Structure 1
């Protein structure tokens, strides 16, 4: 908690936020959410002395993006989270008076140190805060901002968000940005002490004139850049990954990543990939290497309903489930939910394997709005398998996950059909889809996690995240399976998922 914090006493603005949030049937129960109010980007993700620290963009005063604070939660198992004191609060004056925007946590010789974007007016500039040994209390550096302006002579679209690491005897930092008329970029800086920074140059710059309007458009600005190496214990087989979120004139588009090689002052890309087929529903991801050597990633699940609905509900924004990210055989990333999440599994239902002869069969034994479903399918060329969740008894509301194999058998598609997910005409129901690599004989390992309005789908290592808002939430608990063409169901297991939080409202100011 910062020294200039003034707690709101009996603020009518915040009154009842946590209580209203708790009553909302669309609020997830095993995904992390803030106690109430607003949540967006994951920040400062780290594994420090055996404890996972998840900081996040937070407004405890309203379910709206305004004067952003840094919320803070801790966990020893990536499943159950404890709310910690708010870490950063906008100052009464200074470079972060209008918000403490996204950043990271680094270990500066044993001193936990945050590097974040302080917002003042239309400007975001890098700032530093140092923490207590338990990472619960923070003091902003008097030298803030530690970079006083973007690079000279460059017409930028924006300048914010940070990736900071130690390289040899120096610190290096990437700041997300964009060069007007060219494309998104990540500016590289260097420092001896985290306070005085030397501009090196753009690490990599995209081309915004290419693929505009497409699902892999790189945008005019790169938010929340994240550079890391996978396979680092085997130099010859390692790959460098540069993750970013494509932004343009205030619109958040989708998360992408380059694979390639970071060397010297540049990143030499080999391929561009989509990180999550849900687009903005897995936005601004951040990752860390935990003490077990795993690359753990979180992202922000944006809302798909109106601002008015969010305000009425008293909360806005969901943190994704933790993902373990590894190298896939095709050179991209393989994503899977952290195995610790199985701790929340309760009653298990198994469906008998066999050929799927019907276009649709409801599974009366599988019901719920907190589910973890795992299935293995074999698709013949031209075949499609579907899994239906959150279905009302009359089928008026239902969400459909589809996996299909091309007629020539060469590849597949993962698709989420939300057109009938809600009868509310104001919510987003656009379909989401992406390429699906297939295993031997058309094998698909599919996992679907349903948590009220939060939906995360994993198919052969590819991820698709979205939000759904059935109007008849208490009735929309049905599950079913179906197929077109030759589909073999080799395995189907479903578990009820317990809540990760205790009952009752959580304090907005822990």
Structure 2
């Protein structure tokens, strides 16, 4: 069973402007998105819609089975819907970060599920996938700022981002990878289940190139932390970038849902030798955008230390080689003013 369908037009590949409607001759690109109840995941495919014939055809190489389509978010997002913002000529996507714990937890917290940060969506230059990025209005909440340039995170290193309280924060970082030769080999079927791969190759499992990334919502002693990271593998003569959110140490409580999430980032890391990560933190929600919004992972986390102490943020590298942080900018975020005249 599928629900919450969304069929919307998108501009030509690489054009970030949104479309409210498209010509009826089937020439314009469209995105068909479905929410699949069996997996509680949102899937989408790019194709062409013919208004006169009322038919949608996925692009060449795409399957008609929605379970084989790309995911909008490789974490805890379901039942998303989009709308056209005529004022700023953009397509905006809203997602729902639902819950997976016991009902008693929902009652104690006072809520069950929350909307994600609105995201602007547009078609990538290759025409194969959507790019997603937090709407620009989020940046108006930025206040206290810190910046790092040219920092190095050595093998096994954990570097604290000083000056930012981590309960409401926005961080953008670019990692440079000096060498790829140490990348681990990936089994032939290793691309089939990135979430399982992230579970097996978590942040604490040493690798060749990675894992490297951020530790957020972390306690001062690091007994609790949520890790968002990348890991590079070698597969069939090419390099593949895996992005993960590892929740296994997000809380010391044993009776809450704390999985590992994962998705591959469709990029040529051998050519770029760098990858970007933006992570938005809002208490129990961690939304991460890898490779400029190519791969998105949303997580729900409930660390115990947050009840009595501050959250912290770190950079880490558990690979064998050094990773360079060419740029890191982090901001504390103010509370949004919502539904106030």
Question: Which TM class, normalised by the smaller chain length?
Answer: 0.7 to 0.9
2:304 match: 471
1:389 and 2:216 are equivalent in the alignment: yes
Counterpart among 31, 34, 44 of residue 257 in structure 1: 44
Three-state SS of the structure 2 residue aligned to 1:416 is: strand
Q: CA deviation at 1:476?
A: 5.2
1:273 match: 70
Counterpart among 161, 168, 184 of residue 363 in structure 1: 161
Mapped contact 1:401–1:416 kept (Cα < 8 A): yes
Q: CA deviation at 1:386?
A: 1.8
Whole-Å Cα distance in 1 between the matches of residues 276 and 49 of structure 2?
A: 32
1:345 and 2:142 are equivalent in the alignment: yes
Query: Alpha carbons of 1:496 and 1:356: their partners in 2 closer, same or farther (altered >3 Å)?
Result: same
1:283 match: 78
Q: CA deviation at 1:238?
A: 4.0
Mapped contact 2:252–2:304 kept (Cα < 8 A): yes
Q: In the TM superposition, what whole-angstrom CA distance separates every residue of 1:32-69 from its partner, at most 9, and x where no partner exists?
A: xxxxxxxxxxxxxxxxxxxxxxxxxxxxxxxxxxxxxx
1:150 match: none
1:326 match: 122
Question: Any residues of structure 2 matched to 1:154-169 within 5 Å, and which?
Answer: none
| More RCO (CA 8 Å, sep 6+) | 2
1:450 match: 281
Mapped contact 1:438–1:444 kept (Cα < 8 A): no
Whole-Å Cα distance in 2 between the matches of residues 237 and 286 of structure 1?
A: 23
Whole-Å Cα distance in 2 between the matches of residues 354 and 238 of structure 1?
A: 45
Q: CA deviation at 1:437?
A: 2.5
Mapped contact 2:30–2:49 kept (Cα < 8 A): yes
Q: CA deviation at 1:396?
A: 1.0
Q: CA deviation at 1:363?
A: 2.7
Mapped contact 1:304–1:468 kept (Cα < 8 A): no
1:247 match: 37
Q: CA deviation at 1:358?
A: 4.1
2:198 match: none
Question: Any residues of structure 2 matched to 1:195-274 within 5 Å, and which?
Answer: 221-231=1-11, 238-248=28-38, 253-263=40-50, 264-270=53-59, 271=62, 272-274=69-71
2:242 match: 413
What is the total number of aligned residue pairs between the two structures?
A: 280
2:290 match: 459
Q: In the TM superposition, what whole-angstrom CA distance separates every residue of 1:385-412 from its partner, at most 9, and x where no partner exists?
A: 2210111112111110111222355220
Q: TM-score, normalised by structure 2?
A: 0.76
Whole-Å Cα distance in 2 between the matches of residues 296 and 347 of structure 1?
A: 27
Mapped contact 2:144–2:164 kept (Cα < 8 A): no
Question: Any residues of structure 2 matched to 1:367-378 within 5 Å, and which?
Answer: 367-378=165-176
Q: TM-score, normalised by structure 1?
A: 0.52
Larger Rg: 1
Q: In the TM superposition, what whole-angstrom CA distance separates every residue of 1:248-273 from its partner, at most 9, and x where no partner exists?
A: 3xxx5200012111122221113321
Three-state SS of the structure 2 residue aligned to 1:310 is: helix
1:481 and 2:290 are equivalent in the alignment: no
Question: Any residues of structure 2 matched to 1:398-409 within 5 Å, and which?
Answer: 398-407=225-234
What's the RMSD between the two structures over aligned residues?
Answer: 2.3
Three-state SS of the structure 2 residue aligned to 1:343 is: helix
Whole-Å Cα distance in 1 between the matches of residues 2 and 288 of structure 2?
A: 25
Query: Alpha carbons of 1:414 and 1:237: their partners in 2 closer, same or farther (altered >3 Å)?
Result: farther
Q: In the TM superposition, what whole-angstrom CA distance separates every residue of 1:427-456 from its partner, at most 9, and x where no partner exists?
A: 111100001123542321210001000110
Counterpart among 322, 330, 337 of residue 494 in structure 1: 330
Whole-Å Cα distance in 2 between the matches of residues 238 and 411 of structure 1?
A: 31
Three-state SS of the structure 2 residue aligned to 1:364 is: coil
